[in-house]
Structure 1
Amino acid sequence: MFKRLALLWTLFKGDARQLWSALRHPASPGWLKMGTALIALYLFSPIDLIPDFIPFIGVVDDIVLVPLAIRWLLKRLPPEVAAASAARRSA
């Protein structure tokens, strides 16, 4: 189980780095910035699909939805931005 969590954390960290790199790219689209802002707003908002005060389950929605939303944004990047951010991610 811990190996799976470590793998998920590594994937999330890599996706977060790639998203950050894509945001800093000069050709990054406006929708990427808006989508990232909405993800951050959801993450820090007191309004959740499942309230955080419910033990374990309240945090799971954040743990699942935020990485999925980041991956969804990354898959829709323009090819030149995706290539540049992926290159920075691996560096």
Structure 2
Amino acid sequence: MWKRLVLLWTLLRGDARQLWFALRHPAAPGWLKLGTALVALYVVSPIDLIPDFIPFFGQLDDIVLVPLAIRFLLKHLPPEIAAATAAQRR
């Protein structure tokens, strides 16, 4: 499980940092916090779309779905929060 988290963090470092800054923003909407909690729950949950014991495909769903979910959350940020977090990301 830790290897999966390290790999996801490496792939998502930029988006994850922007999401972190967005969550810490004073005007962060509640849906963003809920969505982030659900993504984190999916990452650590033993229940997956494709079970992890299936070679290659077991981890592939995590590597594909988690970045898509984070990108979806970031694309739907209010413009003022997106601008503030993009400036902090650099």
Give the structure-2-normalised TM-score.
0.87
- Output the CA distance in 1 between the equivalents of 2:25 and 2:80: 10
Q: How does 1:26-37 map to 2 (within 5 A)?
A: 26-37=26-37
Residue type at the aligned position of 2:67: P
Tell me which residue corresponds to 2:39: 39
Query: What is the RMSD computed on CA atoms of the aligned residues?
Result: 1.0
Give the structure-1-normalised TM-score.
0.86
Q: How does 1:5-20 map to 2 (within 5 A)?
A: 9=11, 12-20=12-20
Residue type at the aligned position of 2:89: R
Shift of 1:40: 0.4
- Output the CA distance in 2 between the equivalents of 1:23 and 1:15: 12
Task: Percent identity, please.
Answer: 77
Shift of 1:42: 0.6
Please give the secondary structure, in 2, of the residue aligned with 1:70.
helix
Tell me which residue corresponds to 2:69: 69
Displaced runs of 4+ in structure 1, greater than 6 A? none
Residue type at the aligned position of 2:46: P
Gaps of 5+ in 1: 1-7
Count of aligned pairs between the two proteins: 81
Gaps of 5+ in 2: 1-9
